[in-house]
Amino acid sequence: MHQGKHVFSQVMEQVVRYQFNQCVARYHGEYRVRNFTCWEQFLALAFGQLSFRRSLRDIVVCLGAQRRKLYHLGFRSLVRLPTLARANERRDWRIYRDYALRLIAQARRLYVNDETFGLEINGAVYVIDSTTIELCLNIFPWACLKTVRAAIKLNLGLELHGNIPSFFSISSGKEHDLHFLDQVEYERGAYYIVDRGYLDFERFYRLHRTGAFFITRAKGNWSFRRLYSHPADKSAGVRCDQTVVLSGYCTARAYPEKLRRIKYRDAETNRRYVFVTNNFELPAELIAALYKHRWQIELFFKWIKQHLSIESFWGRSANAVKTQICIAVCVYLLVAILKKNLRIDRNSYEILQILSVSLFDKTPIIELISKHQTLILETPIQKQAQLWEF
């Protein structure tokens, strides 16, 4: 029940402090810390994400303007700029990465029966991809990619049920995307959708042996031998459905089992695609539809870059940058958990916009959003439009 807590505190109630403290203790995050704890650091940076702050100075100034409320928000003392900057530089970023993984597990339990995916698939469906986050070479020389560029990569697996990140890592901009597949713990019966930049038959065979399925696009120069063809529904866009084996010397040794090759024509764009998978049960048109949903992860990357602070960074060290990215993922997950727990019928963008201007209010979140809906319905323009409807 709501007991007069600030909106920011209501959002932070989704955090299980016992789990957070476990992550802090694992990396000795508060060794010789007297005043500014890891929890206070998390609160300050989460506040910066929710209120769309552009720098650490913005965060400190805004919190200082509300100093009488800081104790009720979870801060034991006034947040100072040198203290916050030093915490970002020195405290292990893996604390917040591990807690993000805890939030992922919590969110996945809530969204396991979510119907936003649109396809009836028995098993989890993951899309794996990466996005490059550009950095200024003069400010971040440790992230040097080329002589004139600096960047890091956010590698992520997105579960299509609820669009929830399921696993992620932060790597150098120079590191190939394939190495992320070595970090993934595959689930038996799950589907993993990747683009052809991840095409590596040795890694795919390791995935196949775990009982999972992959779907990807074939490269133009791959060698195969057709064993036999299956009936293809050409009215659905399927041009051919074949069982093949690899015929190249190295690729045949890397993946000795049979594969399924599907040639598909998209009626909307009139483009032809060739898909490769180890699943022989699903209809060919459903395989094509699954790969089409790979664009959900591109939309997710675009969303977090536009609505969370992971493009302008609040520190110059690798530890500070990774800390900020991990806490941005945590904030996205906290909003997703809050939305499901309170059964809020709004998208994450609208919830973030409402929260950003209401963090110091004492209105219950569900009531705050309901009032916002009422105000939208009662705007003068809409009243005038209703006046002229016959």
User: What single string gives the DSSP state of each residue in 12-63?
Assistant: HTTS-HHHHHHHHHHTTTTTT--SS-HHHHHHHHHHHHHTT--SHHHHHHHH
Give the pLDDT band (50/70/90) at residue 377: very low
- pLDDT recorded at residue 137: 83
Q: Over 90: is that where the pLDDT of 102 sits?
A: yes
Give the pLDDT band (50/70/90) at residue 192: very high
| Contact of 107 with 336, CB cutoff 8 Å | yes
The secondary element (H helix, E strand) that includes residue 274 is: strand 271-277
In this structure, the number of other CB atoms found within 10 A of the CB of residue 136 comes to 12
Can you tell me the distance from the alpha carbon of 361 to that of 113, in angstroms, rounded to the nearest whole number?
33
Better-scored residue on pLDDT, 141 or 330: 330
- pLDDT recorded at residue 371: 53
- pLDDT recorded at residue 115: 61
Give the pLDDT band (50/70/90) at residue 143: confident
How is the chain split into domains, by residue range? 7-94+315-377, 195-274
Least confident stretch, 5-14, 137-146, 240-249: 137-146
- pLDDT recorded at residue 122: 82
- pLDDT recorded at residue 135: 86
Q: Which residues is 172 bridged to in the sheet?
A: 152
Can you tell me the distance from the alpha carbon of 46 to that of 29, in angstroms, rounded to the nearest whole number?
18
- pLDDT recorded at residue 344: 84
Q: Over 70: is that where the pLDDT of 202 sits?
A: yes
Q: Over 80: is that where the pLDDT of 104 sits?
A: yes
The secondary element (H helix, E strand) that includes residue 374 is: helix 365-377
Give the pLDDT band (50/70/90) at residue 138: confident
Q: Tabulate helix, strand, coil % of the chain (nearest 5).
A: 45, 20, 35
| Contact of 242 with 226, CB cutoff 8 Å | yes
Average pLDDT over residues 143-149: 79
Average pLDDT taken over every residue of the chain: 87
- pLDDT recorded at residue 375: 45
* Parallel/antiparallel/unpaired status of strands 238-246 and 224-230: antiparallel
Average pLDDT over residues 267-283: 91
Give the pLDDT band (50/70/90) at residue 116: low
Q: Over 80: is that where the pLDDT of 60 sits?
A: yes
Q: What is the pTM of this model?
A: 0.86
Q: Over 80: is that where the pLDDT of 20 sits?
A: yes
Can you tell me the distance from the alpha carbon of 39 to that of 368, in angstroms, rounded to the nearest whole number?
26
Write the single-letter amino acid at 92.
D
Give the pLDDT band (50/70/90) at residue 173: confident
Average pLDDT over residues 66-76: 90
- pLDDT recorded at residue 210: 94
Q: Over 50: is that where the pLDDT of 55 sits?
A: yes
Give the pLDDT band (50/70/90) at residue 117: low
Q: Over 90: is that where the pLDDT of 221 sits?
A: no
- Name which of 33, 19, 138, 35 is nearest 77 in CA terms: 35
Give the pLDDT band (50/70/90) at residue 190: very high
Percent of the chain whose pLDDT exceeds 70: 93
- pLDDT recorded at residue 3: 59
Average pLDDT over residues 1-22: 86
- pLDDT recorded at residue 345: 82
Better-scored residue on pLDDT, 242 or 346: 242
Quick one: tokens of 220? 């133009």
